[in-house]
Structure 1
């Protein structure tokens, strides 16, 4: 099968348009159309339904697009491994983690990584959905539970707990709860129990709701919860690492906290020799060590 025709077919299927694919490939629309027609003739199959608004893959086209997508990802992996055979750390590193951890813990520490490796290009993908690392949706992941995907190298980094926090100004104006029953007189800020979040956090929120909390603000990630807390809207359920970046926050009802939430770093086994992965892994581990030291120093002044 003609590799060049497959490459052009993949670009057309991805763009949904001959014109857009041609722009991406620096080819004329007629040249792209000829290549697609030639592929259809070679396969004796119609790959696209053509209509005024663009192109839609047929069933046969979907099958071929799945195959070219897998090929493309494998080629990306091979390319990454070839680049990683060099001694220097450079190029794109796609890191996926949750919105809360990425914005509140990882992003503030990234300047140190760039100081060490100025040619590194980090693509930080923040979402609760678990991306498929073996299929190269990302290069490395930091997740709040042990990854279950096969063919991954994984390392437990630390544990966190979900706790209750508020600002001094909020507590000065609304009072400090002394027991869980007092929460009914406050606004609770938390993730909605229907949104993607760590199981321990959800369990804590469900437990707090049994105390007839009258006023509630729910957000779909911990960064939003933090913003509500910082603007004196109420008492928020947040991971304990936020207090290091926001030391003025006051932990409310310190005996009320979630079970331990494990934090894992994972990457595909085939990238075990990647210098970009190694640089990021070592950086995160060093930051974890420093974080633990600072935490111990605060707990035992």
Structure 2
């Protein structure tokens, strides 16, 4: 053993982990923000200091030896510890200020959350929101986001949160096509053209229900976003299931049946346990939980079958208020 070996630094572990992850020096160099020759030179220095080879050079790339794998595993544990430490420090904030990263999907953002976010920012001007849109679950353990707002009956077990409402789904059609939407003939609905989300949304009960009950040739239009469902139904392409908080706010749509309880999903406000006591996270969750509870009748579809009521218009000048 080399008795004069230089102690390893955290940057050495980061370099070894990057090479193992990328299996190539140029890709590892790009990930670390250094040049290829620097990675090559430092790898040689680390192996010389340890007196062992950390990688085997194969045609497929750099493959870690047993010693290299052990170093990579240790680097991963240190990285996790650093991330956890950063979360704990964030949880010790005193003032509700700073950036808050919120992950959700496009339909929740556009049809439900944006006005609530605007109210929150007005009430807490020291906080900035960075909204991340997508259906992929954000990794809150790695601080991809501080809060996730999701419609799911199976939230990740490593997160904590609240479910202030349950999102109801019902069947909708274009209002002009259903002048008597309060009593449509159910048997005739199955013969109409239908709209559905694509196969990548089979985790949604509404998609699975439609696949079981509607003949494939009757599904004339598919799309990969809930945001476009209402527009497609309103355009008269076909009928389809929509969240009630979307369908019930559009006068151009008619609800053709009551909410189906088998299609509903919980609305969750989620965060990591280390972040739940952070002032800005706690304020955000408290605020949203209260506002969503106020909107629960809309979210849970508590209105009669038929057309959505027309939007209220302000009285004209001279009218009695």
Give the drift of 1:228. 2.0
1:189 aligns with 2:195: yes
Contact kept, 8 Å, 2:22 with 2:28, in 1: the verdict is: yes
Cα distance change of structure 1 residues 276 and 62 upon mapping to structure 2, 3 Å threshold: farther
Question: 2:243 matched to 1:235?
Answer: no
Partner of 1:254: 257
Distance 1:43 1:189 in 2: 64
CA contact (8 A) 1:73 1:136 kept: no
Residue 209, structure 1, aligned to residue 208, structure 2: no
Determine if contact 2:245/2:299 at 8 Å carries over to the other structure: no
Shift of 1:158: 0.5
Give how far 1:118 is off: 5.1
Q: Who is 2:295 aligned against?
A: 291
RMSD: 3.8
In structure 2, the gaps of 5 or more residues are 1-7, 310-321
User: For residues 20-70 of structure 1, what are the alpha-carbon distances to aligned partners after superposition, in whole Å with 9 as ceiling and x for unaligned?
Assistant: 65566554433332222333442723337476xx95554655665455345
Give the whole-Å Cα distance in 1 for the aligned partners of 2:113 and 2:254.
22
The answer for the alignment partner of 2:11 in structure 1 is 4
Partner of 1:85: 92
Equivalent residue, structure 1, for 2:52:
44
> How many residue pairs align between the two structures?
292
TM-score, length-scaled by structure 2: 0.72
> Structure 1, residues 210-231: CA drift from partner, whole Å, max 9, x if none?
6x87343222332232342243
Are the equivalent residues in 1 in contact too, given 2:47–2:53 (CA < 8 A)?
Answer: yes
State TM-score, norm by structure 1. Answer: 0.75
Q: In structure 2, how many angstroms separate the alpha carbons of the residues matched to 1:28 and 1:213?
A: 56
2:195–2:229 contact (8 Å) kept in structure 1 = yes
Q: Which residue number in structure 1 is paired with residue 36 of structure 2?
A: 29
Q: Distance in 1 between matches of 2:214 and 2:223?
A: 15
Structure 2 counterpart SS, 1:159: strand
**Alpha-carbon separation, structure 2, partners of 1:142 and 1:253:** 28
Q: Find the residue that maps to 2:283 and give its secondary structure.
A: helix
Deviation track 1:219-246 (CA, whole Å, cap 9, x = no partner) reads 23322323422433221211111136x4
1:178 Cα shift?
1.1
Check the 8 A contact 1:97/1:141 in 2, yes or no: yes
Match of 1:219 in 2: 223
Offset, 1:253: 1.9
Could you tell me how far 1:123 is from its partner in structure 2? 4.1
Write out aligned runs for 1:125-140 (5 A).
Answer: 125-127=133-135, 129-134=136-141, 136-140=143-147
Higher alpha-carbon deviation: 38-47 or 10-19: 10-19
Q: What's the offset of the Cα at 1:109? A: 3.5
User: Any idea what SS the aligned residue of 2:251 has?
Assistant: coil
